[in-house]
């Protein structure tokens, strides 16, 4: 019996799943965790498509959107825009 390695991308097939995943990641309060989650969503949507939309290099996106990648805020906003999601601040 072959066991497949878990990849959250396999469960990000709908917009609802993506929004729930990103909200849960944001609620963790860990910036590395959130950036990794954004990277997971970018992989689910297609990193090449995100790269084209943002004008950023695919390899650079993989590197920036991994744990410890520490992307610039502008890069993160461009990626979120390409993924058609928005951050919201509430009290």
Taking only the tens place, the pLDDT of each residue in 17-51 is: 999 999 999 999 999 999 999 999 999 999 999 99
By the 8 A CB rule, do 83 and 42 touch? yes
Taking the whole predicted model, whether its pTM rises above 0.85 is answered as yes
The answer on pLDDT for 89 being more than 90 is no
In a domain? residue 4: no
Between CA 75 and CA 57 the distance in angstroms is 11
The domain in which residue 25 lies consists of 14-82
In a domain, 46, yes or no: yes
**How many domains, the chain?**
1
Predicted local distance difference test score (pLDDT) of residue 4: 87
* Residue closest to 32 by CA, chosen among 74, 79, 76, 77: 76
Give the Cα separation of 90 and 41 in Å (integer).
23
Q: Give the total residue count for the chain.
A: 91
Average pLDDT, the chain: 95
In this structure, is residue 23 part of a structural domain?
A: yes
């Amino acid at each position: 019996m072959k066991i497949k390695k878990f990849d959250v991308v396999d469960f990000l097939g709908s917009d609802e799943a993506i929004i729930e995943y990103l909200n849960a990641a944001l609620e963790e309060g860990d910036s590395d965790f959130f950036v990794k989650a954004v990277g997971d969503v970018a992989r689910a949507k297609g990193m090449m498509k995100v790269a084209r939309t943002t004008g950023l290099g695919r390899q650079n996106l993989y590197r920036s959107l991994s744990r410890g990648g520490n992307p610039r805020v502008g890069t993160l906003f461009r990626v979120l825009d390409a993924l058609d999601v928005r951050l919201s601040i509430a009290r």
